[in-house]
Amino acid sequence: MTTLQSEDCQANDPNNLFPIAIESLRFPLDSTMRIIFTGYYNGFNVEVRSPEEMAMLHHMGCFGKGSLSRSKPKMSQNNCPCIMRKRQFLKRNDWHKKFDQRLDNSDSDTFFRDIDEITANIIKDSSNSRKRDVIDLVSSDEGESVHSEGAQNIDHPVLLDTWDKQDLVVIVPNSDSEEDNYFEKLRPECCVNKIKIQEKLMLTLEEAFFLSYGLGCLQILNNEEKALSTDQLWELFMKTEKRFINKYVVYHYYRSKGYIVKPGVKFGGDYLIYKEVPSIAHADYIIVIRNNIQKLDWVSVLCHVRMATTTVKEVLMVEVSKSDENLAEIPENLSAYNVREIILSRKNPFAINNDD
């Protein structure tokens, strides 16, 4: 096992293929050892909010995607404040001042009241305070407003002591121009971050239903914090995604074979399947799902093949059909669906002749 595999998801180890414990004769499992994760349906997909559950789901099977990351969710380290650009910090302060009336937080009101007083003393302009606040936060002249933040931190160190270390943020200057002396002029400042955006693990509908129905390790709650049954999830996901049945059948098919299945819309397909961990190996196939009703034209075929050739992949055309059309579309009848695989490849006659 390499170092990258130990830090990322474990797809090759059978014990870490899925986020469930494997029972054996030597190590029998108890009902108390079963882990049930919690997901929240937000109308588009399912999100996992607990940092421990996020890390375990991604580590054991590479499920989901971080809401603020490209793939692996980045967990915040304790006692380590995050680093933020100046413009981003000012914009978040602007948002908090606009919507602070909806937040029942008296400490935040006191905090920004002190900022307004310091800003007024620096600018020395008491007219049109509302317009001045907007200019201080979103104008191009950001030096004065950030200086007021720094002045507050120096003149009122007690305010920072009342906040947790996780609420602090390090402000660094903007780097619009690629100058060599950026780090020489770097003067970071420590401020209080009033708007914290939490990292979440976003699960697709197919991933969530596979964890809930296929593995039985995920419970999904609605907006009213009520757990949804398997039949309710099936009906809800079918309404959300018209092609949910075909997509889930294909997802379940390749997951049961040990592949890592990820969305493939970036490469013009429905899925990407990986034999190895996505962080250390590229996808091997682009999955394109089609049914018996859709007609396959040559233009779309050539587009898929050209994309796969450019990205060093292969196109796997998958057809989903039902053996008995009279069966109801319920999860218990998934065994009635058949999956047919067709590999599309493009042969270059000039390359073949040159090899001969």
Marked catalytic residue, from 97, 252, 262, 313: 313
Position with higher pLDDT, 6 vs 190 = 190
Position with higher pLDDT, 137 vs 26 = 26
pLDDT digits (tens, 9 = 90+) for 108-136: 445 445 555 555 555 554 444 444 443 33
Q: What is the pTM of this model?
A: 0.70
Sequence-separated (6 or more) residues with CB below 8 Å from residue 327: 333, 336
> What pLDDT does residue 139 have?
38
Residue among 192, 186, 184, 148 nearest 166 (CA): 192
> What pLDDT does residue 16 have?
58
- pLDDT-derived band at 259 (thresholds 50, 70, 90) equals very high
> What pLDDT does residue 32 have?
59
Q: Are 267 and 303 in contact (CB under 8 A)?
A: no
- The single-letter DSSP state of residue 346 is -
- pLDDT-derived band at 156 (thresholds 50, 70, 90) equals very low
Mean pLDDT, residues 180-185: 72
| Residue 254 annotated as catalytic | no
- pLDDT-derived band at 240 (thresholds 50, 70, 90) equals very high
Mean pLDDT, residues 11-33: 55
Position with higher pLDDT, 119 vs 337 = 337
Mean pLDDT, residues 294-316: 85
pLDDT digits (tens, 9 = 90+) for 97-110: 777 655 554 444 45
CA gap 208, 2 in Å, rounded: 29
Find the length of the chain. Answer: 356
- pLDDT-derived band at 21 (thresholds 50, 70, 90) equals low
| Residue 275 annotated as catalytic | no
Share of the chain above pLDDT 70, in %: 64
Please give the domain boundaries of the chain with CATH numbers for all domains.
Answer: 1-73+199-241 (3.40.1170.20), 82-192 (no CATH), 250-356 (3.40.1350.10)
Marked catalytic residue, from 74, 98, 165, 282: 282
Given a cut of 90, whether residue 185 has pLDDT beyond it is: no
Sequence-separated (6 or more) residues with CB below 8 Å from residue 181: none
- The single-letter DSSP state of residue 33 is G
Residue among 261, 245, 221, 220 nearest 18 (CA): 261
Q: Give the number of other CB atoms < 10 A from CB of residue 178.
A: 6
pLDDT digits (tens, 9 = 90+) for 189-213: 877 777 777 889 999 999 999 999 9
Q: Are 59 and 9 in contact (CB under 8 A)?
A: yes
Mean pLDDT of the chain: 75
Given a cut of 80, whether residue 276 has pLDDT beyond it is: yes
pLDDT digits (tens, 9 = 90+) for 73-95: 876 655 677 788 888 888 888 87
Given a cut of 70, whether residue 296 has pLDDT beyond it is: yes
Given a cut of 70, whether residue 181 has pLDDT beyond it is: yes
Pull the structure tokens for residue 324: 């008995």
| Residue 282 annotated as catalytic | yes
- pLDDT-derived band at 96 (thresholds 50, 70, 90) equals confident
Q: Are 246 and 320 in contact (CB under 8 A)?
A: yes
Phi, psi of 329 (to 5 degrees): -85, 80
CA gap 319, 340 in Å, rounded: 5
Residue among 46, 69, 44, 39 nearest 202 (CA): 46
Q: Are 262 and 206 in contact (CB under 8 A)?
A: no
Marked catalytic residue, from 274, 285, 304, 337: 274
Q: Are 54 and 201 in contact (CB under 8 A)?
A: yes
CA gap 260, 266 in Å, rounded: 16
> What pLDDT does residue 351 have?
57
